[in-house]
Amino acid sequence: MQISVRDVDATLFREFKACAVREGKTVGNLLALAMKRIVDAERKPSFLRMKSFDWGKGTETTSNEIDDVLY
């Protein structure tokens, strides 16, 4: 597959191409690897991406209680 990408910083692209050469890979191979890593990372659950939610009445101090047990 052949693609065109706009708005790529020229200096960054040169550095990326140099990385590909050092690794003995093509720019396409290295770009595909970078894209796969990003997509795979998005698929993994992350506590940083979790949204907060209300556990209901009576749980207002649950976080503090958990901290007391753990620490």
Q: What span, in angstroms and rounded, lies between the C-alpha atoms of 24 and 3?
A: 21
pTM higher than the cut 0.75 = no
Q: What span, in angstroms and rounded, lies between the C-alpha atoms of 13 and 41?
A: 23
Element housing 14 (H / E) = helix 10-23
Q: Give the start-to-end residue ranges of the domains of the chain.
A: 9-46
Question: What is the full per-residue pLDDT of the chain (71 aa) written as tens digits?
Answer: 888 999 999 999 999 999 999 999 999 999 999 999 999 888 887 777 778 888 899 998 998 999 999 99
